[in-house]
Amino acid sequence: MLRALFFILLIEGFVTISVEILAIRQLMPFYGSNIIITSMVIGIFLLFLAIGYWRGGTHHDHFFKKISRNFSFSLVWVGFGLSYSFVAWYYLLANVKFSTPYLINLTLYLLIIIAPTVYWLGQTIPLTTNLFSEELRVSHISGRALFVSTIGSFLGAILTSLILFHYLGVAWTVFINCLLLFLLVLYLMPYSRFSIFTVLGLSFALILIFQLNVNVEKVFFKLTNNYANYKIETHSDFSKTLQINNSLSSKITPNNKALSYIEFLRNILFKHMDLKNKKILVIGAGGFTFSAAGTHQNDITYVDIDPALKKLAEEHFLEKPIKGKFIGQDARQFLQQSHQRYDLIISDVYSHQISIPPSLLTIEYFQKIAEHLTPSGLFIANIIANPFFKDDYSQRLHQTLTSVFPYCSIIPLNWGSKVANIIYICNAKNQKASIYSDNYNQSTIDFFKLHQQ
């Protein structure tokens, strides 16, 4: 009996923390990966885990039956509520159709899906402590129960992100957690006396969960892992598009044409500026389309956080080797460790739809980029913001970037929408010049000096 209880606690601990990680990962394509999302998930998780502990301690009988019931409910809630299909449907309904505020519809999702699941799983420890030998001290029982459950949580935290996401994908991770809960229900049948019809119902639910997660993932995505969902579509004109976390990341046509902003940059750099024999760093590889039409004798290095991106692009998107080198590493980590200087650095990074990772919006990030530029180098940033800087985000991002790179050409690619691609093309010079005034105006002399250069 003691081994059975430890087994239950170990698996419960694994599933509980794995559900938390899955929630953060499944919300990423829709709500982003910022610290607000993570803290809200953790906050709701801990609150209802505590309520589950309290509720579990109020039960007086039928402990095995209640544990099995909680596992059964959790299986269904995890399998359906954490599926990509459900999260996408919920986001479309809450954010697009009803236009509920961002934090409100996120909180509602967490209360509907995560809160009940954690509440049910949280009851496991106090329920199982009632099944230990009465001869043992309370501190001994609770200490061992918490130890085993926490070991399970440790394994869940490590294996979910490093093994399951990486090698099997997100959908399989959801299914495996449901399968573990189902196996626990089967394991407890001699004690809980669940009817065979209940188990058959759970078996049917497990089949539906497999279809909803694993089979749907195969239809929609080429790859899902720790970092993103990758979707590749082929269109009637034989062009291909790559979507990363629901965001149109790249496009490639049969004659190697890319998205308009990429073509805009290539036209400036390789035609107007005739850039050749330069070292170029591209942060945010996308589909590697910046160099798809040729490198123009430049040495191009791509940096992206996902090491699997190169293989995906070569096999399913470009269908040929990328032109340039690739480093699968976090951008901040790369800039911290590398000492290479570049003639041109392009920052084109998004975590979902129109969200740039917060760590790539700070003054420290832009300072690191400046440190890696040659004295005559250029920095190009593709951001999505309001073209007239009417909101706090657009204003603060502009102020942050220009505090490091004060001399930039700023080119919105669309003026008629709330947000648009805005291209910043900046030189490496960061020393601010003096200004002209009525009292001291050297504009005429400076203008003639400009034309003499």
Q: Which residue has the tokens 């579990």?
A: 56
d(CA 207, CA 100): 33
352, pLDDT greater than 90: no
pLDDT for 131-157, tens place per residue? 876 666 677 788 888 999 999 999 999
Reported in sequence order, the residue ranges of 34-148 that DSSP labels E, i.e. its strands, are none
Task: Return the pLDDT at 133.
Answer: 64
- Give the residue-averaged pLDDT of 166-184: 97
Q: Would you place residue 354 in the very low, low, confident or very high pLDDT band (cuts 50, 70, 90)? A: low
Output 432 or 252, whichever has higher pLDDT: 252
Task: Return the pLDDT at 61.
Answer: 85
Please say whether the dihedral angle defined by the alpha carbons of residues 97, 98, 101 and 102, taken in this order, is positive or negative. negative
Q: For a pLDDT cut of 70, what percent of the chain falls above it?
A: 97
pLDDT for 83-138, tens place per residue? 999 999 999 999 888 888 989 999 999 999 999 999 999 999 999 988 876 666 67
353, pLDDT greater than 60: no
Q: Would you place residue 327 in the very low, low, confident or very high pLDDT band (cuts 50, 70, 90)? A: very high
- Here the tokens at position 451 are 């034309």
pLDDT for 356-393, tens place per residue? 888 999 999 999 999 999 999 999 999 989 999 999 99
Neighbour-count burial for 163-173, b at 16+ CB within 10 Å, e otherwise: ebbbeebbbbb
Task: Return the pLDDT at 136.
Answer: 65
CA angle 25, 30, 36 (to 5 degrees): 70
Average pLDDT of the residues of the chain? 92
Output 287 or 351, whichever has higher pLDDT: 287
355, pLDDT greater than 90: no
pLDDT for 400-411, tens place per residue? 999 999 999 999
- Here the tokens at position 34 are 């910022």
Domain assignments of the chain as residue spans, ordered by start: 2-220, 233-427
**pTM for this prediction:** 0.88
Written as one letter, the residue type at 368 is K
Query: CA distances (Å), 184 to each of 15, 53, 55, 71, 376, in order?
Result: 11, 19, 21, 8, 64
Task: Return the pLDDT at 442.
Answer: 84
Residues 184 and 202: beta-carbon distance below 8 Å: no
430, pLDDT greater than 70: yes
CATH architecture of the domain formed by 2-220: Up-down Bundle (1.20)
d(CA 239, CA 126): 58
pLDDT for 205-216, tens place per residue? 999 999 999 999
Task: Return the pLDDT at 8.
Answer: 94
Q: Which run of H or E residues covers position 85?
A: helix 84-91
For the 233-427 domain, the top CATH level (class) is alpha beta
Neighbour-count burial of 283, counting CB atoms closer than 10 A to its CB (0-12 exposed, 13-18 middle, 19+ buried): buried
DSSP 186-208: HHTHHHH---HHHHHHHHHHHHH
Residues 419 and 431: beta-carbon distance below 8 Å: no
Residues 66 and 123: beta-carbon distance below 8 Å: yes
